[in-house]
Each structure stands twice: as structure tokens, then as C-alpha cells.
Structure 1
């Protein structure tokens, strides 16, 4: 019985598939030294044979069995390189994608689990597995996923979301976070921690520190202008009412426009701009945390710490440590 079934998908990120296999291989080597069971896995594709990955790379995979009785393995889908809404739509319209989505749905209905990162999460949406669940994906795809799956709570701030048999992760390199989470979910947290240390990778809690609001808005000119106005006003960011007045619209209309473009509220957009500026200052200057807090409009460092912990899953000191280490 396999613990994991790794699915090699056409045009998947080669790095995303490679890091999946590297982490599993490392776990297999390390587990006996810790007196722990090693994970078992298989590499499969829908048709078997050579699978073409991004960058012209290829990998050979076994054919995914048409039906396996009592297959309780976790199917792992590495990230796909679908960077635009049009690319996602085109991929979902392919007959082979629809067929794979149906197989994924049957696997979960039969008691299995499925884990996906990046735009592979849209395959779970196509399989009808996100309804009523919380999920994440690449942060710039979050608005599209929310439109396609209105019954899903899309939490783009999180790096990994686990909801029942469905585990999702953020952008392509969140595959590392996904695999560490899966190892820990096997009841062997010590193995996950050991693999993390050996490969020098950290499990991250949030995507939010990496979100660029203008990119998230996918070229929406209003959001671009709003971000510029908020940044220029720091350390005294304008209120939601002031922003609405500046752009000659009601607060409700402004909120609707921002949420349609980014999936975030107006206040969340303001906070993301402040947090981004705070991170830049923490990483690129020798300002104290109190000075950084003041520079982005917080009364003291406690407020900044609380917000960064809530939204980014890390204290300001984490970014300051990386700066000092590089100095």
C-alpha cells in the first residue's frame, strides 16, 4: 500500500515535481535513522510513459491504475505553470483534464486524499471537490478560483490549507510546504522536521508577505492608482472614506471594485500596502522595529507585530534576522 501517489502532469513545473520527489527520497533515507517508517510512493501519470514538463524536461511515469480497490493513498499534484486566467481556462477545457478531474473525484469519494499546489488546485475545482471547503492557490489566481468556485472559501493569504481530504497550497514553490505538511500529517512530525533541516527548507505559514496588490489585481488601473496613493500617503494612510471620495465613488462601489479585482476588501488592500512597506524596511534598512512601525503608520511595534503575526504568520524579527545574517 502506497502512502503517496505523485501525479506527473503535462506542462507541470519541473521544479515542483522534482522537489516532491526529493523530499520523499530524503524522508526515505532519514526515516530509518530516526526509527520511523519510511514513506512509500509511486510516480504515475494518466496514460503512463514519458511526460513532458516545463522547460523541455521529461519524466517517465507508470500508468495510473484505472481503478484500485481501497486506494487510500494521498494523490499529490505538483504545480502547473498556468500563469494567466486564459491558460487556466484552456487547460480545464481539455478532454484529458476533464477525465483526470473525474478520476480525482472518484479517488476522494473512495476514501482517498488529494493534495495540490499552484494552478493544479483548479483541477480539484473541476472535480467539484472545493464546494463548502477552504482552499488556497497561487495568490494571483485567487480571484479567478473564487469566481469559479463561489462555494469555496479561497484564503490566498495561507501557504497551506487542509480541509478534510483536500489539501491545497500556494504558488509553485509552496510544493515544499505542502510536502512537509503531508509528512507531518502522516503522524511523523519528527521526520518532517528532520527533512526540513537536512534540505535547509522552512515550512512557511503564509503567502501574504509575497503578495503584490497590483499583480493580484491583474492590471486593474483603479487598484494600481489606489496602491500608489496609499504608498505616497504613508505613514498616514487615507481612510476608506477618503479613498472613495478621491475616486468619486461611494465606499460600497469602491469596495465592490476592489473585491472583484483582488478578492480583498478595501481595508485589507490598505493593510497589504503597509505590510509590504514594513517588510521592505525590515529587510533593507537598519531601522528598529519601532521606527518601521511608525514609518507605516502604527502607533507602536506591538500593533505591527500583532498584524504581521495574524496576516503573515511571522514576527517582524524574522525578516530582520535574515537582513542581519546577510550583512
Structure 2
């Protein structure tokens, strides 16, 4: 499998290196332990002759030859953590050239993958329009507003949609590289995972900070504060809208536009966050914690935690042991 890793100026060092390390480890284990030839022919390419990482390291790159098509092209993340730092990067000339290359190769049948901020390049190129995708959870509101045609679900760690694959924040590069290894050989992927003490994760939900997402919009930020103050009382859309001096329709619309979910769903996120905090930092039993977040008993809370986090109460408590 021919894999081209597209390096851009100011890229996230760990994103590049973990991608290359996973694939090189897969090649080494395939050759030495499984008796097979290397599965990946990996080349680090660039649209410029010289690329420097965000930490200032020079990346050895091969200039792009558009005529030599890989099977896969992977786009590691740029080092940008806010819209203010990301927007200028997306407008750079080398990024524009990279987008043109991605469009050309995708049109010619090349499969495309990106992690974290790299997903923004795919969205800028139009390759995610009308597709399911994920991105770094911390910039999901900005992504959703900038690319309304993308079917975004930032709670997912990896989304495969046709010939395009996206993964989530930062260490989503690891999940992507392991997923790609699994496409070549599930047995090899399991071996690499054990050697690197790494597993493919299915969800970003346990890592999402609801307060961070709410700050993308003034009304949603006010709703978040109201919700935190009323967790014990339970949710009422009418009461929330009235307290915020807005209509239920406006509150519903703003939450959907910014968060990609209803006010009730976001209220549930806050319940989960508070319950996690109490599970980790208090000696309360599950029924007492349920009462703190507006439930009559612990059974409903147990179900909610497992649905949202994929883990039960016992697993969540064990995390800090």
C-alpha cells in the first residue's frame, strides 16, 4: 500500500511522528514476526522543498509529483488551537496548493485521510461536503459554522465515509494509523497495538469539555450557566428560554448551529460531566449522585453514563485507583 504523508509548514510534530512511527512499526513487525513483506510504502511529501514543524525541526520531504499517485494520502494537523491562529494558516499559499493537490488526487481515485486540524484542509477542499466526518472536538463549533455542508459528529473518534477518513483531536493521528494498519491486516494491527500499548478508540465524548464548546456563542454560554444552576431541577426548554429572555425556537436553533445538538442533549452532557466529577471526587453512592444531577434514582444515570461514555460506574470509579 503506497501512503503519502503530506507535510505542511508548522505542522503538529506529534501528529506527523506518531503516524510515521505506527506505519514503520507495522512494517517491521510484518517482516520480522509475521514473515511477510512490509505492508506500507510510506513517503513524506510536500508542496514546498523545505518544511519546518511547529517545534522548529526540519522535515525531510520528497517534492510532490502529481503523476505518481499513492493509494492513500494522509494530512497531519497544523499546530493551531484557536480560530484566530487557524484562519491565517488556511489562507497560506502552500495550504492552497495542498488543497488543489488533494482535490486532484481524490478525483483520480486516491483515498484521503486527515486527523485533528488536518480535517479542516479536507473541508476547505470541499471533500467533506455532504459526508459524515469528525474533527478535533475543541474546534467543532467553529468547524460546524464554517462548513455547514459537512455532517459533523465530533463525539466520534474516527469516521470513514467513502474514500475519505477523518479522525479527532491530536492523538487521533494514532487512531488513524492503527485503523489504516487494520485495513491491511487486522492481525498486524492487533500486534502493533500491543507493542505500542495503544488501542483504537471509538469516541471523543469522554474528553469533551462542554464549557469550552459553549464559549463559541454568547447565548449558548448563557444557557450553559443556567443549565449548571438547574441540574438538580431537571430540564425545561420553556424555563430556560424564559430565563434567557429568548424564544424556545431561537435557543433550539442556536444550540443546533453551534453544538450540533439540542438544548436537552447539551443539558445531558452537563449532567454526565457533573456525575463524572462526583464519581471521582466524592464518596457519594450512585443514587446520591443521581439526585445531584436531577434523577430520582441511579438506574437512569447509569444508563446515561454508559450511552455517553461507553463505560459503567465501576469503570469510571476505577480510573483513579
TM exceeds 0.5? yes
Note the C-alpha offset of 1:49. 4.2
Q: TM-score, normalised by structure 2?
A: 0.90
Give distance in 1, aligned partners of 2:37 and 2:300: 44
The DSSP-based 3-state class of the residue aligned with 2:84 is helix
Listed one character per residue, the Cα deviations across residues 165-191 of structure 1 (whole Å, up to 9, x for unaligned) are 1100111111111211221122x2222
Contact 1:118–1:169 (CA under 8 A) maintained in structure 2: yes
Give the match for residue 206 of structure 2.
209
Q: Distance in 1 between matches of 2:182 and 2:43?
A: 20
The equivalent of 2:57 in structure 1 is 57
Provide the aligned length of Structure 1 versus Structure 2. Answer: 320
CA displacement, residues 56-104 of structure 1 (integer Å, 9 cap, x when unaligned): 2222111122222xx3521111121222223333222222212211111
Bigger drift between 231-240 and 177-186 goes to: 231-240
Alignment of 1:311-322 (within 5 A): 311-322=308-319
**Distance verdict in 2 for CA 1:300–1:22, change over 3 Å:** farther
Q: Structure 2: how far apart are the matches of 1:10 and 1:133?
A: 27
Per the alignment, do residues 184 and 223 of structure 1 end up closer, same or farther by CA in structure 2, a change over 3 Å counting? same
Equivalent residue, structure 1, for 2:249: 252
Cα-Cα RMSD: 2.3
Report the alpha carbon displacement of residue 206 of structure 1 after superposing the two structures with TM: 1.2
2:30 maps to what in 1? 31
Q: 1:134 aligns with which of 124, 132, 141?
A: 132
Report the CA distance between 1:213 and its aligned residue. Answer: 2.2
Matched, 1:228 2:225: yes
Q: Is 1:280 matched up with 2:277? A: yes
Alignment of 1:158-307 (within 5 A): 158-186=156-184, 188-307=185-304
* Distance in 2, Cα, partners of 1:291 & 1:34: 52
Structure 2 counterpart of 1:143: 141
Greater CA deviation, 117-126 or 209-218?
Answer: 209-218
CA positional deviation for 1:37 = 4.8
User: Any stretches of 5+ residues in structure 2 without a counterpart?
Assistant: none
Describe the shift of the 1:49–1:217 C-alpha distance in structure 2 as closer, same or farther (beyond 3 A).
same
Task: Return the TM-score normalized by structure 1.
Answer: 0.88
